[in-house]
Amino acid sequence: MRSLLRSAALLLLAAVPAHASEIGPFTGPEADAEAVRLYERANSFLNNVTEGPYSYSYIQFHWKRAGSNIDRILRAHPSSPTAGRLRAGELKVGPFEPTYFKERVLPRLEEKKVASFDAVNCAIFLYTEETNTEVAAKKRLLEEIILTLCRQVRWGEALAYPVLDDERGWLWNIVTRQAVIYRNDKLAAELVNNVQDDNKRLLLNTQAEGLGFRGETAEDLEAFLADQADLAGELRLAVLRGLVRRQKHIDRFIQANRPLKGLYDGVDGVQLPPDDAEKPYADLAAFYATFGPKPPAAARAATSRYHAFLGRFDLARELAEESFWVTDALDWLIEQERYAAALELGRRHPEATAELVTTLARHGRLAEADAVIREAGAGEELAFARTRGQMLATGDVFMVREHTFANLPIKSPNLTGRLICEWSLTPNRALRGAAPWDAVVFKFAPGFANLPEPKDKDKVEAAGR
């Protein structure tokens, strides 16, 4: 019986055509024909499923199948003419040599697929691209990446992001800011207490400003300042800056008889006043009075921004020069539809042109924003400002399509990455439409020519599986 079963099994195996899981080698005309079929299929995958029209996930599915076909030819049909020509370098897989395709193209394709997965991945890809050599602009993008990770409650990833040793305090400061604003007080305390002494002052100032912005009571703020008596003076100024940033938006909404529920300020939403009437958040005017009859210039300048944001320009001028509060004045003038006055103020302060463009776009005045851009001589920074204003608008929703970010007149990967990060955190972030990251990756890193030698053989093997 065992002999009969063994014979039947051998006959069954002989009748089954060659597959990837078979050992081989297989020889003869049928094997040679199978090798030709496998090669033609592999070649078709690369020639027809190309970068640009298709997502990287779709491309990888087919290109990995092409790689598997080539491996199967060399393993299962090694004596076929097709295998011989592949080994001799006479045949290519699409436009690539077989070895180059396996060791360089497939690992790079894996990187692109991962980069196109979500907003943060795409921004990190743009940041780490070897062609991105703008040091200052890269650091600004990295700040947005860390901020976005924090806002997505990925604190560990944010803190573990690889930076140079002398940048560790800078990274901790970004995380501290978000931790304080969103009441992750345990993490904020750990960072402030464990940071090196030369960076502790920076983190304490950030903590103080965050406490003012998030809406602490006057008693809690004074208790915090009392615990830091050595730096109480400058920390009081930091608290004031946070209070101004918070209160100016709340009072603007109250001034316009708008509900506070829709209150929003960039990527950090202004938290609403507490419902507990017995513990109201600190009053800005009362806190400013704690500086005494002659407040320092920094306190006066910070408060001037509050008055300018509410249209009280005379009070703002009494406290500081116009350059301190010009952006706040522009915001008020544009909201009041006083465009001629806003444009005139912008001309007096060309350093505020980008903010003028952003504010106009945020209020839906795209024609006026474009006029300012033309007058200023265009440029990527102003294209960035215009798009950012559209994203921050709470009225006209900025709809993102497949090629929205890729089609922007912006060649800088760092500016594009910053827009991607900020857009992922805006109130309309749920209105994604088609994920646009494949098009962005293709715009800034097209093609697979002249790829460097693989650094990690394990990753090469993993990318081909």
pLDDT, tens digit, for every residue of 10-22? 444 444 444 444 5
By residue count, the chain amounts to 465
Residue by residue, DSSP assigns 119-165 as HHHHHHHHHH-TT---HHHHHHHHHHHHHHHHHTT-HHHHHTS---G
Two structure tokens written together for 331: 């915001």
Q: Check residue 9 and report its DSSP letter.
A: H
The pTM of this model reads 0.87
d(CA 148, CA 425): 7
Average pLDDT in the 454-458 region? 72
Contacts (Cβ under 8 Å, ≥6 apart) of 317? 304
| pLDDT confidence of residue 16 | 42
Biggest CA pair distance of the chain = 108
Q: Tokens 């051998």 identify what position?
A: 10
Q: Are 451 and 167 within 8 A, CB to CB?
A: no
pLDDT at 403 over 60: yes
CA atoms 94, 100, 103, 108: torsion sign: negative
Q: Are 59 and 94 spatial neighbours (Cβ–Cβ below 8 Å)?
A: no
Residue-level pLDDT at 317? 97
Peptide bond into 25 cis (omega under 30): yes
Which residue has tokens 């980069």?
115
25-62 pLDDT tens trace? 888 899 999 999 999 999 999 999 999 999 999 999 99
Per-residue pLDDT, 426: 74
Calculate what percentage of the chain has a pLDDT beyond 90: 75
Instruction: Return the structure tokens found at 431.
Output: 């209105």
Q: Which tokens go with 250?
A: 């709340």
**Residues facing 54 on adjacent strands:** 51
pLDDT-based confidence at residue 86 (cuts at 50, 70, 90) = very high
* Mean pLDDT, residues 152-167 taken together: 93
In contact, 45 and 54? CB cutoff 8 Å: no
Q: Stretch 67-87: mean pLDDT, rounded?
A: 95
Residue 379: predicted pLDDT: 87
Quickly state the pLDDT bin for 395 (edges 50, 70, 90).
Answer: confident
Which of 314, 396, 411 has the alpha carbon at shortest distance from 363?
Answer: 396
DSSP 15-83: HSPP-TT------SHHHHHHHHHHHHHHHHHHHHS-BTTB-HHHHHHHHHHHHHHHHHHHHH-TTSHHH
Q: Is 281 helix (H, G, I), strand (E, B) or coil?
A: strand
What lies within 8 Å, CB to CB, of 318 at 6+ separation is none
End-to-end CA distance of the chain: 41
Secondary structure (H, E, C), 85-116: HHHCCCCCECCECHHHHHHHHHHHHHHHHHHC
Average pLDDT over the chain, rounded to an integer? 89
Residue 50, C-beta contacts closer than 8 angstroms, at least 6 positions apart: 59
**Which of 81-90, 149-158, 294-303, 393-402 is predicted least confidently?**
393-402
DSSP assignments along 162-181, one per residue: ---GGGHHHHHHHHHHHHHH
Structure tokens at 412: 């800088």
Q: Which DSSP string do the residues of 395-434 spell out, in sequence order? A: SS-----TTTTTTSS---HHHHHHHHHHHTTSTTTT---S
Q: Does the structure show a pLDDT above 80 at 386?
A: yes
Determine the average pLDDT of the residues in 414-423: 94
pLDDT exceeds 60 at position 102: yes
CA–CA separation, 141 and 127 (whole Å) = 7
Q: Are 411 and 380 in contact (CB under 8 A)?
A: yes
Question: Reduced to 3 states, what is the DSSP secondary structure of residue 257?
Answer: coil
